[in-house]
Chain A
Amino acid sequence: MSSSTALATVGGSRTDARNDVMAVNAAEEQYVTFTVGSEEYGVNILSVREIRGWTPESRLPNLPDYVRGVINLRGIIIPIFDLRARFGGGATSVTKRHVVVVIQVGERTRGILVDAISDILAIGHDAIKPPPDVDGGMVDAEYLSGLYTADDRMVTLLSVEKLFSVENSELDSATKALPALERAS
């Protein structure tokens, strides 16, 4: 995928997609799914603004490694989160084939770095299974909204709202650690 490609079917026609969904089944929603390593994740298509190829980021100082840095998205500056690093898999070594999913949550726009886009799925509410208890050390179950089986693959559905709110509070405590450490010394 070239760096400037936006998936027209995804970014360009969100409202159409929404209307289709409405028409087909009110209880069905569309999800964009993507892979990180061997795992497949999905986010609600309505929160996806566009999908773009990887462009080099500018690093931000003193933040956890899952905050990859910031990029210029047509004049606005958005942070990029490395989903692999977020899930404890270490930082992604990026290539030109890596993809950033640009997500809008409320007023804020953010990008998540993933390996590749795999599918767009229409998923009925009934087909989503609740996530089992996951070991909190690796993954916070909070931002997993459910699991879905597509053919023989398992797709983990993410709640972007929760994902980012968890990140916010974690980053808060990371930044606050500075003065605290100073007092300790």
Chain B
Amino acid sequence: MEDLSRFKQTYFDESAELLEVAESGLLRLTPGEVDSDEVNAIFRAVHSIKGGGGAFGFTELVAFAHEFETVMDGVRNNTVPVTTELVDTLIRANDLLGQMLAYAREGDPAPAGTTDGTVAALRRHLSGGAPQAQAPAAAPAAPPPTPVYAPTYADDEDDEAGLFGDAMAAIAAARAEEDPVPPGKLRWTIVFRPRSDLLMSGNEPAFMLRALRRLGDATVECHTDALPNLQNLEAELLHLSWTVTLLADADVDLDKINDVFEFVADDCDIRITAEAPPPAAPEAPPPVTDPVPVATPPTVVAAIPEAPKAEPPKAEAARPRPNGGGAEHAGLTSHTIRVDLDKIDRLVNMVGEMVITQAMIAEHVRELPPGEFQELLEGLEQLAQHTRELRESVMSIRAQPVSSVFSRMPRLVRECAATTGKEVQLVTSGETTEVDKTVVENLVDPLTHMIRNSIDHGLEGPDERERVGKPRAGTVHLSAQHRSGRIVIEITDDGRGINRPKVLSKAIEKGLVQPGATLSDEEIDNLIFLPGFSTADQVSNLSGRGVGMDVVRRNITSLGGRIGVYSTPGEGSRFVLSLPLTLAVLDGMVISVGEERFVLPLTNIVESLRPKAADLHGLVGKCDVMMARGEYVRLVYLHQLFGIPGAVADPTHALVVLVETEDGSRLGLVVDEVLGQQQVVIKSLEANFRRLDGVAAATILGDGRVALILDVAGLREMSRHMDSRAPRPPSPPVAALPAPALEPV
């Protein structure tokens, strides 16, 4: 029972992926230019969901999937024309299939009539097309469905037959000449040669033969030539093979026959050939839509997986995209495995522990007298290298291409375009860029928001665009790339750009900016990230609830990312997201303040220096600034922000670490000492406690002690709060905070 539920889980997992495949295929389906590979992919996806569902007895799901599949089959055969309405119906059907799966997963029956509307819509499309989509033999003029197995009447001799050159198939072909197939029927010749250990896996060939008989009029021949003599006979092995000649109605297709062998496909060699009645019309044109090279007159052969020791998979090469039922089986040879995420996470944690232990050993070794223990040092050096490689390999397991997020966006754009009445074209690039799974998952919401925002606020309506000399359809470009150890995602639109006067007046109206304040263009652009800011005159369905861009920024920041906007009025806007590739490890600089040690993310650090007294200035009694490389930067005293006693207060005796926040603004962090650079494993503070201002996360240093990882942007916010409270910072500790300052240990 437990095993079955595990299979079910796998089925649902796979179905979710298949739904995505189908959806992205459907979205690419354009009227007029039907890509048969795409159509086949969609068909296979739906078919696989149906097949698996059947195995678990989800009858409602199967019934609906069947309707869906029938229409897809029609599309595949060119009997159902691809129109915009059809695509819409199919997308809806795909959604509904997802719902049906959800019901099946929960074990609930779907509410009565759930599928009625969509089924009716599907059937309408079907009746618009040619009536007998499934019966090529009855309608020989229609292009044959899937030429891999369907009869075709190409008149040139095809040497593909030699590939499967098999005595039994030849016999079948010979028989075809003397015994013509009656009209409206198909004669299938099924050569079923199980591997000798088939019985070990609990399969019973007799059941399969019986199942075949149910499909039509079957004649079974048993081949006993491989049977050893009695003294060599091993009773537990199977030595028989069979040839079944099945005279079936035209609605029995290859899939139905393959279904019989579904569970043994890997353990046997099956060849299935079909033979149609002699053509009524002497010649039909060779298939135009999908000229798959396995058309042999008058019989077409489909080989399902080669027996392990059979000839090299030449047949596969000849048919790069096998159609129909064979495809799922062919796909089984892929070199991937499915692993529970928990297992990988455990591995990641373990490697994290190892990094810590290794740092700990390194710390102790440093205290040994130099010159001795040379071998130990070398060994340690190697260990460090291996650890790093191991860590990278493990991280790469968790890495996923961003395409899983990007692929959801066409749908969104389609819907947004429909709601706003704008014409939008989405261009994506860099879909294969890989990043940690957690990052990928957390990208969905921000990207959804931002693309909506670009369409709703950025792009103009088609008429307005025409007036200003732009193409009617606006373009939104979504791209991803790796850049200096981070992933950078850009969303560019060619719309009207940020309306700065409007943004500014709105910000003043909402009290976010003082009236009369002078802001640079860049500062104005960045106002849109402030909480509670929304410029939409009307609250639209899409965006404009004022929860847009500030939430986006918060999401991105919580991932350790940054976001920026660059806009040119009249030409468009560009949003740039930069995110760490992994959330598990970070290159950091260990610093000390008083007795405490902290880690600063290396990506934030510009440089560290010890200022001279002449470089330091007070600024309107509010804070200290320092001249660094021709620029004034504000000083932030970490010991004040965090209330740490015993720290060096005078910057000329301490160190200033120049850090840069996500929007490029700099500040000087005053710390006691910089202890060194180190890779640290990011540990959650929230898992057992809570988030703290100015702290991004925590980590464990080489001595086993916890150190907090600083959040530079958060520190800047805190220091702003402090400026507005304290008259002049250097002397008094953080008086207004509720807790007494931390005391010395």
Binding site for B on A (CB under 8 A): 56-65, 67, 69-72, 75-79, 91, 107-110, 168, 171, 174-175, 177-179, 181-182, 185
Task: Tell me, yes or no, whether B59 is within 8 Å of chain A by CB.
Answer: no
Q: Is the interface of A mostly helix, strand, loop or mixed?
A: mixed
Q: Is the CB of A175 within 8 A of B739?
A: no
Render B687-703 as a binary contact track against A, CB cut-off 8 A, 1 for contact.
Answer: 11110111100101000
Which one of B694, B707, B721 lies within 8 Å of A182 (CB-CB)? B721
CA distance A179 to B739 in the complex (A): 15
Q: Which residue of B lies closest to A75 (CB)?
A: B353
CA distance A72 to B359 in the complex (A): 15
Chain A residues with Cβ under 8 A from B364's Cβ? none
Having A63-B692, A76-B688, A77-B706, one finds 14 other A-B pairs with CB under 8 Å, namely A57-B706, A61-B742, A70-B698, A75-B352, A75-B356, A77-B683, A77-B688, A107-B687, A108-B688, A108-B689, A171-B690, A174-B739, A177-B737, A182-B724
Q: Is the CB of B738 within 8 A of A174?
A: yes
Task: Tell me, yes or no, whether B31 is within 8 Å of chain A by CB.
Answer: no
Q: List 20 A-B contacts (CB under 8 A).
A: A56-B705, A56-B745, A59-B596, A60-B708, A61-B692, A62-B642, A65-B739, A72-B706, A75-B349, A75-B700, A76-B683, A77-B688, A91-B743, A108-B689, A171-B690, A178-B693, A178-B718, A182-B721, A182-B725, A185-B724
Q: How far is the CB of B737 from chain A (nearest CB, A)?
A: 5
Chain A residues with Cβ under 8 A from B743's Cβ? 65, 91
Q: Is the CB of A76 within 8 A of B687?
A: yes
Q: Which residue of B lies closest to A171 (CB)?
A: B690
The CB with the most chain A CB atoms within 10 A, among B356, B643, B738, is that of B738
Task: Tell me, yes or no, whether B684 is within 8 Å of chain A by CB.
Answer: yes
Q: Is the CB of A181 within 8 A of B736?
A: yes
Render B575-611 as a binary contact track against A, CB cut-off 8 A, 1 for contact.
Answer: 0000000000000000000011100000000000000
Q: How far is the CB of B184 from chain A (nearest CB, A)?
A: 65
Q: How large is the interface on B (under 10, 10 to 19, 20 to 34, 35 or more residues)?
A: 35 or more
Q: Is the CB of A62 within 8 A of B734?
A: yes
Chain B residues with Cβ under 8 A from A182's Cβ? 721, 724-725
Q: Is the CB of A168 within 8 A of B724?
A: no
The CB with the most chain B CB atoms within 10 A, among A60, A63, A109, is that of A60
**Nearest 5 A-B pairs (CB), nearest first?**
A61-B642, A58-B706, A79-B689, A174-B738, A59-B742
Which one of A59, A72, A91, A108 lies within 8 Å of B700 (CB-CB)? A72
Q: Is the CB of A178 within 8 A of B596?
A: no
Given A59-B596, A77-B700, A185-B725, answer yes or no on A71-B688 (Cβ-Cβ < 8 Å): no
Q: Is the CB of A62 within 8 A of B721?
A: no
Q: Which residue of B lies closest to A61 (CB)?
A: B642
Chain B residues with Cβ under 8 A from A168's Cβ? 690
CA distance A33 to B581 in the complex (A): 47
Chain B residues with Cβ under 8 A from A109's Cβ? 688
CA distance A178 to B734 in the complex (A): 11
Which one of B349, B352, B706, B734 lies within 8 Å of A70 (CB-CB)? B706
Chain A residues with Cβ under 8 A from B708's Cβ? 58, 60-61
Which one of A65, A79, A171 lies within 8 Å of B740 (CB-CB)? A65
Q: Which residue of B lies closest to A110 (CB)?
A: B688
Chain B residues with Cβ under 8 A from A185's Cβ? 724-725
The CB with the most chain B CB atoms within 10 A, among A75, A78, A181, is that of A75
Task: Tell me, yes or no, whether B641 is within 8 Å of chain A by CB.
Answer: yes
Chain A residues with Cβ under 8 A from B693's Cβ? 61-62, 175, 178
Within 8 A of A (CB), among B56-99: none
Q: Is the CB of B641 within 8 A of A61?
A: yes
Chain A residues with Cβ under 8 A from B595's Cβ? 59
Task: Tell me, yes or no, whether B292 is within 8 Å of chain A by CB.
Answer: no
Q: Which residue of B lies closest to A58 (CB)?
A: B706
Chain A residues with Cβ under 8 A from B684's Cβ? 77
CA distance A107 to B686 in the complex (A): 11
Binding site for A on B (CB under 8 A): 349, 352-353, 356, 595-597, 641-644, 683-685, 687-690, 692-695, 698, 700, 704-708, 718, 721, 724-725, 734, 736-740, 742-743, 745
CA distance A91 to B724 in the complex (A): 31
Chain A residues with Cβ under 8 A from B705's Cβ? 56, 58, 72
Q: How far is the CB of A55 from chain B (nearest CB, A)?
A: 8
Q: How far is the CB of B679 from chain A (nearest CB, A)?
A: 16
Which one of A57, A59, A177 lies within 8 Å of B738 (CB-CB)? A177
Q: How far is the CB of A115 from chain B (nearest CB, A)?
A: 18
Chain B residues with Cβ under 8 A from A78's Cβ? 688-689
Q: Is the CB of A60 within 8 A of B692?
A: yes
Chain A residues with Cβ under 8 A from B596's Cβ? 58-59
CA distance A181 to B690 in the complex (A): 21
Chain B residues with Cβ under 8 A from A179's Cβ? 721
Q: Is the CB of A58 within 8 A of B349?
A: no
CA distance A176 to B497 in the complex (A): 36
Q: Which residue of B lies closest to A170 (CB)?
A: B738
Q: How far is the CB of A135 from chain B (nearest CB, A)?
A: 21
Chain A residues with Cβ under 8 A from B725's Cβ? 181-182, 185
Q: Which residue of A lies closest to B737 (CB)?
A: A62
Q: Is the CB of A64 within 8 A of B688?
A: no
Which one of A70, A72, A76, A91 lies within 8 Å of B704 (CB-CB)? A72
CA distance A76 to B356 in the complex (A): 12
Q: How far is the CB of B566 from chain A (nearest CB, A)?
A: 30
Q: Is the CB of A61 within 8 A of B683?
A: no
CA distance A77 to B349 in the complex (A): 13
Q: Which residue of A lies closest to B350 (CB)?
A: A75
CA distance A182 to B692 in the complex (A): 18
Chain A residues with Cβ under 8 A from B721's Cβ? 178-179, 181-182
Q: Is the CB of B739 within 8 A of A63?
A: yes
Q: Is the CB of B736 within 8 A of A58?
A: no
Q: How far is the CB of A84 from chain B (nearest CB, A)?
A: 14
Given A65-B739, A65-B740, A178-B721, answer yes or no on A59-B688 (Cβ-Cβ < 8 Å): no
Chain B residues with Cβ under 8 A from A69's Cβ? 706
CA distance A179 to B687 in the complex (A): 25
CA distance A78 to B356 in the complex (A): 17
Q: How far is the CB of A81 from chain B (nearest CB, A)?
A: 10
CA distance A108 to B687 in the complex (A): 7
Q: Is the CB of A70 within 8 A of B689?
A: yes
Given A91-B743, A177-B738, answer yes or no on A61-B644 (Cβ-Cβ < 8 Å): yes
Q: How far is the CB of B53 from chain A (nearest CB, A)?
A: 35
CA distance A57 to B665 in the complex (A): 34
The CB with the most chain A CB atoms within 10 A, among B349, B353, B597, B708, is that of B708
CA distance A113 to B150 in the complex (A): 77
Chain A residues with Cβ under 8 A from B688's Cβ? 76-79, 108-110
Q: Which residue of A lies closest to B596 (CB)?
A: A59
Q: Is the CB of A61 within 8 A of B700?
A: no
Q: How far is the CB of B251 from chain A (nearest CB, A)?
A: 55
CA distance A171 to B11 in the complex (A): 45
CA distance A71 to B707 in the complex (A): 9
CA distance A58 to B708 in the complex (A): 8
Q: How far is the CB of A86 from chain B (nearest CB, A)?
A: 13
CA distance A45 to B745 in the complex (A): 31
Q: How far is the CB of A3 from chain B (nearest CB, A)?
A: 10
CA distance A67 to B687 in the complex (A): 16
Chain B residues with Cβ under 8 A from A60's Cβ? 692, 695, 708
CA distance A65 to B718 in the complex (A): 20
Chain A residues with Cβ under 8 A from B737's Cβ? 62, 177-178
CA distance A67 to B737 in the complex (A): 14
The CB with the most chain B CB atoms within 10 A, among A59, A72, A168, is that of A59
CA distance A56 to B745 in the complex (A): 9
The CB with the most chain B CB atoms within 10 A, among A77, A109, A177, is that of A77
Q: Which residue of A lies closest to B738 (CB)?
A: A174
Chain A residues with Cβ under 8 A from B738's Cβ? 62, 64, 174, 177
Q: Which residue of B lies closest to A108 (CB)?
A: B688
Q: Is the CB of A77 within 8 A of B740?
A: no
Which one of A56, A61, A77, A175 lies within 8 Å of B643 (CB-CB)? A61
Q: Is the CB of B689 within 8 A of A61?
A: no
Chain A residues with Cβ under 8 A from B641's Cβ? 61
Q: Is the CB of A77 within 8 A of B698?
A: yes
Q: How far is the CB of B700 from chain A (nearest CB, A)?
A: 5
